Structure 1
């Protein structure tokens, strides 16, 4: 099997100027580079720079995978977005790199055992902007999912603050993250139980009000924003707030309540049972809906049975594989419809006439062998 590596990076705040694009072109001559993105695939070669270096310098979100099982998802945030107390889970699956300007989060899988291709990568990539936005607004549930994944692999993980987030209704992005990184959903349910029974800190989502924020700006800060807007051609809310921030987005505060592996462990078995019960109930409901829909379709078909018998004959008369396939499909559906109406004898009579009319079409009769028994 040949070597295959996929890189995709995107800038959400601002644009890449010509100097930045030239620097990226020096890193990869074959990459697709636009004013906001960089994408390249390699066989038997690689980038001329580290992915995290490219992210810190140029992009806000990124994704990498290799066909030997390595997966990395990158999310870059303004410095101070997530407090240090939330970043103590650094291990093989999670790494944070901090500079004066940025926090770069890297979520890794060393050996992904399921088939994965570019389409899967592109599908997951679509969730990264939303996940980044949630973190910036103070919704740190992604960090807890990464922590639970780490707990599942290492029960001596450092504690993180116990904050009252809603883990019963995960966003599509969080669900996609949990699926890709194999975070056990019963563990997420166990975390909900912990939050329901133990004291915790209230979640404080950042909902910035424009008028209130504008009143805090000095003339120098407003000039900085205008200059940046003029130079870049656009200015996102996240950029504007970062440029005018007077203190860290999330100051290190003293947390009283902490989440440890020992707190989650007693709830795992109960959460597993409840999760399996909910899964069984959801499957039973799904199957009941599918059964009702199929029965209604068979009822509708039975009410128009003469039409479908005629369709079966017309498709058989085409004397080609697709025609035989269509005729076989109609006849099997008619068989089920007659059975549903407890009228198998009528089906047998018409089916015998159909077989007699097509007795020389062996390819068709082979497709109907189960009905001929």
Structure 2
């Protein structure tokens, strides 16, 4: 398998200056660099710059994927948008890390899976994930909990210390884990959050009245009307001065006190969550197996009620005297055997099969296939 690595960075709050673009060009001569982005694909070699430092200095979002199973998403938020102490509650080893620099908070989320789950079409993934940044800036903690869940599943694979699982408590549980937004669904997929583990976690998650992205005009209007006049003037001035990518985030952050989904203190241990997820997974598999069995039974019953078209198809296949047609005839015979057995008419099938074998006993290729599939 050839090597594949994809790096993408996005500048959201302000465009890169020409000088900054030149600095980035010194890192990579082949990268696609614009005033708001940097991207490159590597099939050999690697990025010469440090992605962490590049995100700290230039960019608000960074995505990385590699064909050995690494998925990484790093986000940079204005320092006042989300307290580091809140984010650290959800940090877990190297899978979820957070730190601050002078002006920003950075969040780094990583998922590792060596099973081969990767794609060379990664250039649209960051666009699906970028909305998570605004959600975090407005106080929605669900992306942080999703990252923690991803790290929990990875921890289970890496560590055998059951006592540690029993004593490690989950972080605060945000509202709305059972009703994720589109960016949050994309994040759960990107970080490979186990669906059963997410279902288990959502059992303790309060429901939300309304997702932030769906707030109606009538909900926001009174909140905006209550803002002080000077603050409204300042916001309008920022808008009049030119593009302000952070303006919407800052405004929603200003209003978030009445719209942020609540979180409840985490009460469950990692072991309890993993055990619940295992039970849900087992129940789901059993339910799926029962459904498959019921569907199969319905099919066999219908076939047993009208088997003649199958017998005719079998005769037609055999008449061609082709080995591929013999294979198709044997497949249909095996299906008929199951149908007759399902309805308690095994004797009828064996009698008809005996006549078929007698009629075609001089066709060794067919007889060999019948014997191989125990059609005697």
TM more than 0.5:
yes
Aligned equivalents of 1:175, 1:90: Cα separation in 2:
16
Q: Is the aligned partner of 1:222 residue 2:236?
A: yes
Q: Which residue of 2 aligns with 1:7?
A: 6
Gaps of 5+ in 1: 197-201, 230-234, 251-255
Report the secondary structure of 1:371's partner residue.
coil
Deviations 1:243-270 (A, max 9, x none): 66896978xxxxx9865xxx544x845x
Q: For the structure 1 residues 36 and 363, does the alpha-carbon distance in structure 2 shift closer, same or farther, using more than 3 Å as the test?
A: farther
Q: Which residue of 1 aligns with 2:295?
A: 293
Q: Which residue of 2 aligns with 1:165?
A: 175
Q: For the structure 1 residues 284 and 184, does the alpha-carbon distance in structure 2 shift closer, same or farther, using more than 3 Å as the test?
A: closer
Q: Is the aligned partner of 1:239 residue 2:252?
A: no
Q: Which residue of 1 aligns with 2:95?
A: 93
Deviations 1:281-314 (A, max 9, x none): 3333222211111111122223331112222333
Kindly indicate whether the alpha-carbon contact (under 8 Å) linking 2:6 and 2:122 is maintained by their aligned counterparts in 1: no
Q: TM-score, length-normalised on structure 2?
A: 0.67
Which one of the candidate residues 365, 370, 374 is aligned to 1:371? 374
Q: For the structure 1 residues 192 and 278, does the alpha-carbon distance in structure 2 shift closer, same or farther, using more than 3 Å as the test?
A: closer
Q: Which residue of 1 aligns with 2:115?
A: 114
Report the secondary structure of 1:282's partner residue.
helix
Which one of the candidate residues 332, 341, 344 is aligned to 2:343? 341
Q: Which residue of 1 aligns with 2:189?
A: 176
Q: For the structure 1 residues 91 and 287, does the alpha-carbon distance in structure 2 shift closer, same or farther, using more than 3 Å as the test?
A: closer
Q: For the structure 1 residues 120 and 365, does the alpha-carbon distance in structure 2 shift closer, same or farther, using more than 3 Å as the test?
A: farther
Q: 1:258-277 alignment to 2 at 5 Å?
A: 264-265=268-269, 268=271, 274-277=276-279
Kindly indicate whether the alpha-carbon contact (under 8 Å) linking 2:11 and 2:61 is maintained by their aligned counterparts in 1: yes
Q: State the 1:97 CA deviation.
A: 4.5
Aligned equivalents of 1:322, 1:34: Cα separation in 2:
58
Q: For the structure 1 residues 60 and 370, does the alpha-carbon distance in structure 2 shift closer, same or farther, using more than 3 Å as the test?
A: same
Aligned equivalents of 1:13, 1:134: Cα separation in 2:
14
Q: For the structure 1 residues 322 and 133, does the alpha-carbon distance in structure 2 shift closer, same or farther, using more than 3 Å as the test?
A: farther
CA RMSD of aligned residues (A): 5.0
Kindly indicate whether the alpha-carbon contact (under 8 Å) linking 1:61 and 1:75 is maintained by their aligned counterparts in 2: yes
Q: Which residue of 1 aligns with 2:197?
A: 185
Aligned equivalents of 1:117, 1:297: Cα separation in 2:
37
Q: For the structure 1 residues 124 and 301, does the alpha-carbon distance in structure 2 shift closer, same or farther, using more than 3 Å as the test?
A: farther
Q: State the 1:158 CA deviation.
A: 11
Q: For the structure 1 residues 365 and 31, does the alpha-carbon distance in structure 2 shift closer, same or farther, using more than 3 Å as the test?
A: farther
For this pair of structures, how many residues does the alignment match? Answer: 346
State which drifts further: 86-95 or 142-151: 142-151
Kindly indicate whether the alpha-carbon contact (under 8 Å) linking 2:63 and 2:74 is maintained by their aligned counterparts in 1: yes
Q: State the 1:122 CA deviation.
A: 8.0
Aligned equivalents of 1:34, 1:303: Cα separation in 2:
68
Q: Which residue of 1 aligns with 2:107?
A: 105
Aligned equivalents of 2:141, 2:6: Cα separation in 1:
26
Q: For the structure 1 residues 61 and 41, does the alpha-carbon distance in structure 2 shift closer, same or farther, using more than 3 Å as the test?
A: closer
Aligned equivalents of 2:74, 2:28: Cα separation in 1:
19
Gaps of 5+ in 2: 258-262
Aligned equivalents of 2:13, 2:255: Cα separation in 1:
22
Report the secondary structure of 1:144's partner residue.
helix
Q: Which residue of 2 aligns with 1:253?
A: none
Q: Which residue of 2 aligns with 1:52?
A: 52
Q: State the 1:147 CA deviation.
A: 4.3
Kindly indicate whether the alpha-carbon contact (under 8 Å) linking 1:145 and 1:183 is maintained by their aligned counterparts in 2: no
Kindly indicate whether the alpha-carbon contact (under 8 Å) linking 2:196 and 2:277 is maintained by their aligned counterparts in 1: no
Kindly indicate whether the alpha-carbon contact (under 8 Å) linking 1:315 and 1:324 is maintained by their aligned counterparts in 2: yes
Report the secondary structure of 1:82's partner residue.
coil
